[in-house]
Amino acid sequence: MIVLMDQRMDSTEHQAFIKSLRSEFQDVEFITECTNEALETAIPMADVYYGMPWQALIEKRQSLRWIHFPATGIDGLTFSDMKLEDTDITVTNCRGPHASSMGDHTVGMMVTLAHQLNEVWTDQENAQWDRTKYIGRQVELTGKNLGLLGAGDIGMAVAHRTHGFGMNIYAVDKNTSPREPYIPEVWGPERIDHLMEISDWLIIAAPLTKETIGLITSQRIKLMKKGSYIIVVSRGKIVDENALVKALEEGHLAGAAVDAFAEEPLPKDSLMWKTKNLLVTPHMSGSTLELTEGRFNIFRENLRRFKASKPFLYTPNLALGY
């Protein structure tokens, strides 16, 4: 059996991971050489690919039976003239390990905005003591309405944490089964406008699909209460970024935080860098050591299952996009 590993796996952690795989699976050949010549030879022979697939991999495959995508969102698994769901290749992803850290990050952004901690850090750098500018500007989370667009792993991690703050949690998701005790009722996508209207805090935790791309428009942002907040943690392109900036500049939104953008890296000339009360983080909300180890363990377990012809962990629905 031949496993072709993503040619970008050059970090210390990834190299240690590959070493451990070679130790456990001594009858498996792991190919990590990434020259064009090496890939030309390896692709037709590979049974498994670990990483982000590309067009040539799919076109030149001969033995490829399984692609493991070492992340959660599969919106990047699209090609110009081919759909993976139309091939005989099984795709697995890494659900789960990202949720806790992204839940932590989301709550951290909420507390930062609620208490202007970003301004406090600037004051500290400047040795500036000014209590008066914060009086009446801080808001409490207790008793406020939290709206979740997406009640999957990320949404539930946020719900678990914000439930402890005493927030009222509402959600819109295609899966409308209740998530007791945090979300007794989950609404279908037809209730998105109502979610916008009642939310003091709106958390974007949905996958990027053909249904969610561009879902949060300028008109929908205007439905939100004056002084409300938006946190984008799952994927860019769901929220109209220009409309978000405008709502902040006009004072309709009190604050926002964005970790995933329509274009990444965020261009240096983007207005989002300098928009007041907008926190920009470089798509790193899930980047913990625990996340990396958790994703490694999923692939390791799935490789065991592949060798034993057992069902995989985490096979997303490619047609649905998650």
Q: What are phi and psi of 109, to 5 degrees?
A: -65, -40
Neighbours of 198 (CB within 10 A): 17
Q: 115 by DSSP, 3-state: which?
A: coil
b/e per residue, 257-272, with b = 16+ CB within 10 A? bbbbbbeeebeeebeb
Distance of alpha carbon 225 from alpha carbon 290, whole angstroms: 37
- How many Å apart are CA 265 and CA 157, to the nearest integer? 26
Nearest-angstrom CA–CA distance, 294 and 263: 27
Q: Which amino acid is at 128?
A: Q
Please give the Cα distance from 91 to 322 (Å, whole number). Answer: 11
How is residue 188 written in tokens? 């279908």
Exactly one of 14, 68, 98, 235 is catalytic; which is it? 235
According to DSSP, the β-strands at 48-50 and 145-149 are unpaired
Closest CA to 53 of 77, 70, 33: 77
SS3 state of residue 149: strand
Question: Coil, strand or helix: which one is 259?
Answer: coil
Concerning whether 235 is annotated as a catalytic residue, the answer is yes
> Which of these is catalytic: 65, 163, 194, 283?
283
Active site residue 283: yes
β-bridge partners, 30: 3
Give the tokens for residue 40. Answer: 């030309």
Q: Is 264 a catalytic residue?
A: yes
How many CB atoms are closer than 10 A to CB 141?
18
Which letter does DSSP use for residue 7 in this model? T
**Could you say which of 40, 264, 290, 293 is catalytic?**
264
Closest CA to 203 of 190, 184, 216: 216
Q: CA angle, 267 as apex, 115 and 261 as ends, to 5°? A: 60
Residues forming the active site: 235, 264, 283
